[in-house]
Amino acid sequence: MLTIQNLHAAYGKVEVLHGISLDVPKGKVVTLIGSNGAGKTTTMRAISGMLKPKGGSVLFGGKDVTGMDSYRIARAGLAHSPEGRRVFSTMSVKDNLLLGAFPRFTRSRTRGDIDTDLGQALELFPRLKERQNQLAGTLSGGEQQMLAMARALMSRPQLLLLDEPSMGLAPIMVGRIFQVVRDIAAQGVTVLLVEQNARLALQAADRGYVMDSGLITMAGAADELLHDPKVREAYLGEACEP
């Protein structure tokens, strides 16, 4: 579904991604883990068109989307739930969700379709259903995270990029968010997940990539990475026997 080859990206003259390659197969959850500043968010931004890559290619559904404007990539079926949530705080929960449907607005899409999508998004997140008329800025951090994810789903994406969904959340809310990631995948949406919580991410994923200083350093089945001594020591906070 998504193939990245030799991707380079920079902020000004400072190169941050030094040629990364990864593959996200259709119907799978793939996670990208790594320490702070490794370049995970930059990778997501370069995929969704928020940052123009300096080199390499991004193929989405067999189509070359490298360097395309983000609204065109969104229209092609890719949704990005960014780090830090970025909800429209002075708008209601419901209006935030309706805006999420925007990439799929076409002459053939009727109001009824959007109401159906809204109903499904609210089923997935009952908390949002109760709060649909509340201003998004007054939601708790966990509720705002749910809103960012639900808004991304309103575009009916084929691929969802989820950047740090558990950031700053209480453990009970983290568990709920990861359950929803599994629910989303069960509905057939392919997911690329960036997470600080490497253990939960690898438990939720089919495959994983480890990133360090702008390079992919390891790749494999998620349960293999979960049991790999180097991953356990560096990213899961476990001291391993020599």
CB of 205 to ligand ATP, least distance (A): 17
Only one residue has tokens 């400072």, namely 14
Q: How far is CA 208 from CA 14, 28, 161, 201, in A?
A: 27, 11, 14, 9
**Binding residue (CB under 6 A) for ligand ATP from 11, 106, 112, 133:** 11
Given a contact cutoff of 8 angstroms between Cβ atoms, the answer to whether 193 and 222 are in contact is: no
Given a contact cutoff of 8 angstroms between Cβ atoms, the answer to whether 167 and 19 are in contact is: no
Instruction: For residue 108, state whether it binds ligand ATP (rule: CB under 6 A).
Output: no
Instruction: For residue 131, state whether it binds ligand ATP (rule: CB under 6 A).
Output: no
Alpha-carbon span 222 to 28, nearest angstrom: 11
Site map (CB under 6 A) of ligand ATP, residues 13-32, x = contact:
---x----------------
Instruction: For residue 157, state whether it binds ligand ATP (rule: CB under 6 A).
Output: no
Nearer to ligand ATP, 6 or 116 (CB): 6
DSSP 50: S
Nearer to ligand ATP, 35 or 134 (CB): 35
Site map (CB under 6 A) of ligand ATP, residues 29-58, x = contact:
-----x-xxxxxxx----------------
Q: How far is CA 183 from CA 126, 188, 190, in A?
A: 14, 9, 11
User: What residues make contact with ligand ATP under the rule CB under 6 A?
Assistant: 11, 16, 34, 36-42, 196
